[in-house]
Amino acid sequence: MTDDVEIWVVAGQYQARSGREPELGAVLAQYVVLTRGVGGCRNVDLVASASTPGKFLVIEKWDDADAQRAHLDDDVMVGMATAATPLLVSAPELDLYEAISAHDLE
């Protein structure tokens, strides 16, 4: 990754255990609301799959890598991870992305 990234995007995919979908959705929704107030967070959204029941995607946008890394150890993240773990089929799939603009594709 380059040092001139203007925004850091983290995507987390979560799959709920059968019958635990509403609980996981509630945990993730609370996480999204709390994370929006974390320093360095530009935005965070929660979406649910229209094709796979119980599959959720959290998309976070951060000012810089330091803010995103600091968030990994803060109370908001730790609380979400603790509450979500028993509701998940497996560990979430997390990935870090660099934003691309139309200008970058020229």
pLDDT at 65: 86
Indicate the pTM of the whole model: 0.87
CATH code for position 45: 3.30.70.100
- pLDDT tens, position by position, 88-104: 999 999 998 887 776 66
Q: What is the pLDDT of residue 5?
A: 54
Domain count, the chain: 1
Query: Does residue 1 sit within a domain?
Result: no
Please give the pLDDT value at position 20. Answer: 98
Instruction: Provide CB contacts within 8 A for 50, sequence distance 6+.
Output: none
The per-residue pLDDT for range 21-44, each reduced to its tens digit, is 999 999 999 999 999 999 999 999
Nearest-CA neighbor of 98 among 71, 73, 65?
Answer: 65
- Asked whether residue 52 is assigned to any structural domain, the reply reads yes
Domain presence at residue 106: no
**Per-residue confidence at 1, pLDDT binned at 50, 70, 90?**
very low
Q: Are the beta carbons of 9 and 96 closer than 8 angstroms?
A: yes
Q: Which domain holds residue 45?
A: 8-100
